[in-house]
Amino acid sequence: MFAEPEFWVAVGFVILLGVFAYFGIHRTVLTTLDHRSDRIKAELDDARRLKDEAAKLLAEYKARHATAEREAQDIIASAQAEAERIASEAKTKMEDFVARRTKTAESKIALAEAQALADVRAAAANAAVTAASTILSQSVKGQIADDLLAKGISEVREKLN
């Protein structure tokens, strides 16, 4: 038993533990381990806190992103509605413009027709007066002819105009 190396390793180990216990090394080791445990715990708490803050920031940025997306969609929808409204107004204005121009052209045509009709009537009246005056002057002579001619011309003018 005293010749076996395991025995002497065990004796040396027990002596070493006795020396460590005498000098209080176990308290130092336990204190160091406690400090290290506290430091690791603090680092883990700090890491959890940072993770929570990061999660909050991520959630906040996601919310901001969603809000920005909704605002962008609202702006796009508003712009489309505005464009449609402007296009509709432009179409309505164009239709009104065309209708007014058509009405103006029609009234100008009607006025030109009335003027042409009046010109034709006046020319016909003048031609009738001239013809009547020529016929009457050639067929009737004297004072009676002059009276008839004046009376006929005045009647024709009254009827044609």
The answer to whether the beta carbons of residues 127 and 160 sit under 8 Å apart is no
Query: If pLDDT is split at 50, 70 and 90, which confidence band does 47 have?
Result: very high
Residue among 95, 157, 100 at smallest CA distance from 132: 157
Cα separation, 92 vs 94, whole angstroms: 5
The half-sphere exposure of 156 on its side-chain side, counting CA atoms within 13 A, is 19
The half-sphere exposure of 101 on its side-chain side, counting CA atoms within 13 A, is 6
Between 91 and 154, whose confidence is greater?
Answer: 91
With 0.75 as the threshold, say if the pTM is over it: no
pLDDT over threshold 80, residue 152: no
Q: What is the mean pLDDT of residues 64-92?
A: 95
Per-residue pLDDT, 103? 94
